[in-house]
Amino acid sequence: MDFKLLKTDSQTSARAGIITTDHGKIETPIFMPVGTVGSVKGVSHRELENDINAQIILGNTYHLYLRPGLDVLKQAGGLHEFSSWNRPILTDSGGYQVFSLADMRKLTAQGASFRSHIDGSPHLFTPENVMDIQRIIGADIVMAFDECPPGNADYEYARKSLDLTEKWLERCVQRFDTTEPLYGHSQTLFPIVQGCVYPDLRKRAAENVQKYNRDGYAIGGLSVGEPAEVMYQMVEVVNGILPKSKPRYLMGVGTPENILQSIALGIDMFDCVMPTRNGRNGMLFTSEGIINIRNKKWQADFSPIDPFGLTFVDSRYTKAYLRHLFIAGEMLGPQIASIHNLGFYLWLVGEARKHIVEGDFLQWKNAMVKKVSKRL
């Protein structure tokens, strides 16, 4: 993997760059749709490629390990071949999913033992076998195995959690660097900076990951319940330490406003389930603001879903028709909303990149934040 920094904004820390992988180029800043089990819910690859223009999507190690399982993925030739997706893929390590299991998992120095959410069967994730699993999945960018502490964790819990994450990272790197990709394309490992909401722990973690000299770095454990201002503070602390020559990935974030503010702080990569999950529940993120399409006010609104016409659904369908689909329980409704929201997120980061290059990012961002956070 190669990262080339093309432009840094003069008034903020926003950056425009390009990541090159064996499956193609990624223009940053970028939003990555979440395809947890090898598919972005309700959206076909054709729509992702041609309408949404997703340059990279996510898969999840935990979910893919359970279903379809490693034997099927290996026989298929990895997730790219299995799912017929020819662009870059990033896989999360499954640490967050194991953390989310709460009462169904136990953490030790060895790893995380947990029970499947599907059938209750017992499993063990270690730094070593998570690297092996991600070799079998075959993503272009893979994540280190970490523990994700809750946003309200006290200092002692956060410190012990970071101790564990740092020990696991050392083992992840050792295993990754002594194994080879399985399918003829290169893979790269991103460490994850943890430390909860404590600046000294975040600084320590950001300094620690650099000794492994990886191609990029992720910031995890944010957007898990802490206030947005605290999240921005932690991002600023970490980005002040991470090397400027490497891409920075803020995991699991977030709202359009979160993304714009984090781009201004120097983040290059984002993922979040929000555009699809909220879309399936009738929430639309548009260039004019946030819409709950179920509200009666849209019942006879025959205007396009988004006046910018970001994807084909925006100009093809009206707000009134989309509301009708939701009220009638038609599955086409959530599909249209998901396509629109993902198209909007990709348009938003693309516009941010354009304004970084043109030199007026700050003015554009400030105006856009007001728009995208307004409820219509």
d(CA 185, CA 286): 37
pLDDT range class, residue 199, cuts 50, 70, 90? very high
- 306 in catalytic set: no
Element (H or E) spanning 183, and its range? none
Helical packing angle, 155-177 and 199-210, nearest 10°: 10
Instruction: Report pLDDT for 105.
Output: 77
Q: Is the pLDDT of residue 132 over 90?
A: yes
Instruction: Report pLDDT for 97.
Output: 78
d(CA 351, CA 346): 9
The encoded tokens of residue 205 equal: 């973690």
What is the pLDDT averaged over residues 197-211?
A: 98
Amino acid at 14: A
| Span of 148-157, 204-213, 276-285, 335-344 with lowest mean pLDDT | 148-157
Candidate list 9, 51, 140, 271, residue with the active-site label? 271
The tens digit of pLDDT for each residue in 219-235 reads 999 988 889 999 999 99
- 163 in catalytic set: no
What is the pLDDT averaged over residues 285-301?
A: 97
Candidate list 92, 140, 146, 306, residue with the active-site label? 92
Instruction: Report pLDDT for 28.
Output: 98
Closest CA to 237 of 258, 207, 213: 207
Contacts of 320 (CB under 8 A, 6+ apart): 298, 299, 300, 301, 302
Is the sign of the CA dihedral 50, 328, 254, 370 positive or negative?
Answer: positive
Contacts of 294 (CB under 8 A, 6+ apart): 282, 323, 326, 327
Residue 17 DSSP SS3: strand
The count of residues in the chain is: 376
Contact yes or no for 38/279 (Cβ under 8 A): no
Q: Is the pLDDT of residue 102 over 70?
A: no
Tell me the sheet residues that pair with 25: 20
pTM: 0.97
Q: Is the pLDDT of residue 96 over 80?
A: no
Mean residue pLDDT across the chain: 96
Instruction: Report pLDDT for 316.
Output: 95
What is the pLDDT averaged over residues 127-155?
A: 95
Residue 18 DSSP SS3: strand
Instruction: Report pLDDT for 50.
Output: 96
Residue with tokens 């957007």: 223
What is the pLDDT averaged over residues 324-346?
A: 98
Contacts of 81 (CB under 8 A, 6+ apart): 183
The tens digit of pLDDT for each residue in 233-251 reads 999 999 999 999 999 999 9
Q: Is the pLDDT of residue 156 over 90?
A: yes
What is the pLDDT averaged over residues 321-325?
A: 98
Q: Is the pLDDT of residue 9 over 80?
A: yes
> In the 8-state DSSP scheme, what is residue 146?
-
pLDDT range class, residue 152, cuts 50, 70, 90? confident
Domains present along the chain, CATH in parentheses: 2-271 (3.20.20.105), 273-376 (no CATH)
Q: Is the pLDDT of residue 36 over 80?
A: yes
Instruction: Report pLDDT for 150.
Output: 83
Instruction: Report pLDDT for 149.
Output: 86
pLDDT range class, residue 292, cuts 50, 70, 90? very high
Instruction: Report pLDDT for 263.
Output: 98
- Residue with the larger pLDDT of the pair 24 and 147: 24
For residue 41, give Cα distances in angstroms to 38, 134, 241, 335.
Answer: 9, 21, 36, 8
Contacts of 329 (CB under 8 A, 6+ apart): none
